[in-house]
């Protein structure tokens, strides 16, 4: 029988998957959170459409803000200490992501690591949100946390390693 795991997501997995995929994994992370919000908060949302909506500039920002706000609201209902507002976290995440994207296209190739710094810094708001969501799951689920990588996460890592290899070989 397959063991049921908590919806908690280890911060180190978020960091590893985001860095290895240069932030692309974050799109799936947002999708997964929308799925959990739909189930948990009984919101009438469509996670796939919300994920697709990220490509629409202002609407995408609102979608991220709405997700962060909903997670903070759920965490606060369970008395999880949340230090930052959804607006602050969204602004920092979008700002750092925009700087990262701008640097990726404008910097000479030998300065690629500056972009990586902003990729890592952009994780800070996501780490805060994940901690809040994990606090919520701690108070609502008694199942153990899954700490090892799933098959899908291993695939993300392999794709990321291939991407890094291609970047360094070109």
Within-domain flag for 7: no
Rounded distance between C-alpha atoms, residue 139 and residue 143, angstroms: 11
Within-domain flag for 107: yes
Length of the chain as a residue count: 170
Residue labelled with tokens 């908590």:
6
**What confidence score (pLDDT) does residue 107 get?**
64
pLDDT in tens, 103-143: 666 666 666 677 778 888 999 999 999 999 999 999 999 89
Within-domain flag for 164: no
The mean of the pLDDT values for the chain is 90
pLDDT in tens, 58-71: 999 999 999 999 99
Within-domain flag for 10: no
Average pLDDT over every residue of 26-30:
95
Within-domain flag for 40: yes
**What confidence score (pLDDT) does residue 90 get?**
98
Average pLDDT over every residue of 133-161:
93
3-class secondary structure for the chain? CCCCCCCCCCHHHHHHHHHHCCCCHHHHHHHHHHHHHHHHCCCCCCHHHHHHHCCCHHHHHHHHHHHHHHHHHHHHHCCCCCCCCHHHHHHHHHHHHHHHHHHHHHCCHHHHHHHHHHHHHCHHHHHHHHHHHHHHHHHHCCCCCCCCCCHHHHHHHHHHHHHHHHHHHC
Within-domain flag for 12: no
On the question of pLDDT at 3 being above 70, the answer is: no
Structural domains of the chain, count = 1
Within-domain flag for 115: yes
Range of the domain at 121: 22-141+151-158
Helix-helix angle 57-77:123-140, to 10 degrees: 40
Within-domain flag for 8: no
Average pLDDT over every residue of 10-20:
94
pLDDT in tens, 69-98: 999 999 999 999 999 999 999 999 999 988
**What confidence category does residue 2 fall into, taking pLDDT thresholds of 50, 70 and 90?**
low
Q: What is the pTM of this model?
A: 0.90
Rounded distance between C-alpha atoms, residue 94 and residue 46, angstroms: 22
Average pLDDT over every residue of 42-61:
94
């Amino acid at each position: 029988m397959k063991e049921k795991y908590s919806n908690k997501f280890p911060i180190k997995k978020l960091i590893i998957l985001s860095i290895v995929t240069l932030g692309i994994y974050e799109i799936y992370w947002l999708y997964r959170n929308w799925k959990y919000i739909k189930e948990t908060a009984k919101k009438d949302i469509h996670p796939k459409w919300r994920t697709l909506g990220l490509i629409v500039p202002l609407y995408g920002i609102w979608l991220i803000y709405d997700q962060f706000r909903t997670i903070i609201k759920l965490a606060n209902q369970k008395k999880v200490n949340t230090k930052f507002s959804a607006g602050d976290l969204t602004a920092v995440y979008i700002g750092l992501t925009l700087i990262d994207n701008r640097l990726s296209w404008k910097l000479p190739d030998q300065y690629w690591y500056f972009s990586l710094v902003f990729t890592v810094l952009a994780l800070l708001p996501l780490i805060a949100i994940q901690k809040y969501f994990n606090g919520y799951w701690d108070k609502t689920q008694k199942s153990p946390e899954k700490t090892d990588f799933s098959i899908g996460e291993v695939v993300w890592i392999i794709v990321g390693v291939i991407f890094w290899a291609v970047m360094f070989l070109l």
